Amino acid sequence: MNPVGFRAGVLHGTSIPWRCFDRFYRLLPADPCEEPMESTDADPEMIVVLRSGLEAPLRRKIRERLESHGAIISQIEATSRYYFELRGEIAAIETLAVDSWPGVEKVVVVGDSSDHWAIDRSRPVQPIQVGSTLIGPGSFCIIAGPCAVEDEQRTLRIAASVAAAGADLFRGGAYKPRTSPYAFQGLGELAYPVLESAREETGLGIVTEVLDPREVESISGIADMLQVGSRNMHNYSLLKELGQTSVPVLLKRGFASTTDELLLAAEYILSAGNPNVILCERGIRCGAASREVVLDLGAVPELHQRTHLPVLVDPSHGSGESYRVGALARAAVAAGADGVLIEVHEQPEEALSDGRQALTPEQFAELVPVLRQIRALTQPDGELIPEEIVSVSGGEDR
CB nearer to Mn ion: give 183 or 256.
183
Nearer to ligand PEP, 174 or 264 (CB): 174
Report the candidate in 330, 304, 311, 335 with the shortest Cα–Cα distance to residue 319.
330
Angle between helix axes 361-378 and 322-334 (nearest 10 degrees) is: 20
From Mn ion, ligand PEP, none, interface partner of 318 (C-beta below 5 to 8 A by class): none
Q: Give the Cα separation of 372 and 367 in Å (integer).
A: 9
Smallest separation (angstroms) from Mn ion to the CB of 343:
6
Site pattern 175..214 for ligand PEP (x: CB under 6 A): --x-------------------------------------
Q: Which does 252 bind (CB under 5 to 8 A by kind): Mn ion, ligand PEP, none?
A: ligand PEP
Conformation bin of residue 330: beta by default, left when phi > 0, alpha when psi is -120 to 50: alpha
Q: Name the closest residue to ligand PEP (Cβ).
A: 229
- d(CA 372, CA 230) in angstroms, rounded, equals 27
Size of the site for Mn ion (CB under 5 A): 2
Cα(309)–Cα(344) distance, rounded to whole angstroms?
Answer: 26
Taking CB under 5 A as the criterion, the residue among 354, 361, 372, 374 binding Mn ion is: 354
The widest CA-to-CA distance across the chain, in whole angstroms, is: 80
Residue nearest to Mn ion (CB): 147
Closest CA to 282 of 342, 345, 226, 336: 342
Site string for ligand PEP, 130-149 (x = CB under 6 A): -----------------x--
Rounded CA-CA distance 113/135 in Å is 24
Per the CB < 8 A criterion, the answer to whether 274 and 251 are in contact is: no
Does residue 345 touch ligand PEP according to CB under 6 A? no
Smallest CA-to-CA distance from 213 within 246, 244, 238, 245 is with 238
CB of 341: closest distance to ligand PEP in angstroms?
7
CB of 177 to ligand PEP, least distance (A): 6
Nearer to Mn ion, 49 or 278 (CB): 278
Binding segment for Mn ion among 79-87, 141-149, 198-206, 378-386 (CB under 5 A)?
Answer: 141-149
Q: Which is nearer to Mn ion, 173 or 310 (CB)?
A: 173
- Span 52-91, contacts to ligand PEP by CB under 6 A: none
Name residues contacting ligand PEP, limited to 304-333 (CB under 6 A): 314, 317
By the rule CB under 6 A, 252 interacts with ligand PEP: yes
CB of 204 to ligand PEP, least distance (A): 16
Q: Could you say which DSSP state residue 130 is in?
A: E
How far, CA to CA in Å, does 85 sit from each of 55, 91, 94, 174, 353? 18, 15, 14, 51, 53
List 59, 63, 199, 282, residue binding ligand PEP (CB under 6 A): 282
If one asks whether residue 147 binds Mn ion (CB under 5 A), the answer comes out as: yes
Per-position b or e across 354-389, b if 16+ CB within 10 A of its CB: bbebbbbbebbbebbbebbbbbbeeeeeeeebeeee
In the list ligand PEP, Mn ion, none, the entry touching 348 (Cβ below 5 to 8 angstroms by class) is none
The stretch near ligand PEP (CB under 6 A) out of 133-141, 191-199, 223-231, 288-296 is 223-231
Q: Among 44, 172, 229, 394, indicate the residue that binds ligand PEP (CB under 6 A).
A: 229
Considering the complex, what minimum distance in angstroms separates the CB of residue 348 from Mn ion? 12
How far apart are the C-alpha atoms of 70 and 185, rounded to whole Å? 46
Give yes or no for residue 150 binding Mn ion (CB under 5 A). Answer: no
Q: What are phi and psi of 333, to 5 degrees?
A: -65, -45
Contact flag: residue 173 with ligand PEP (CB under 6 A): yes
Q: Give the shortest CB-57-to-ligand PEP separation in angstroms.
A: 52
Other Cβ atoms closer than 10 A to 157:
14
Phi, psi values for residue 217, rounded to 5°? -65, -50
Residue 272 and residue 352: Cα distance in Å, rounded?
Answer: 36
Residues that bind ligand PEP in the complex, under the rule CB under 6 A: 147, 173, 177, 229-231, 252, 282, 314, 317
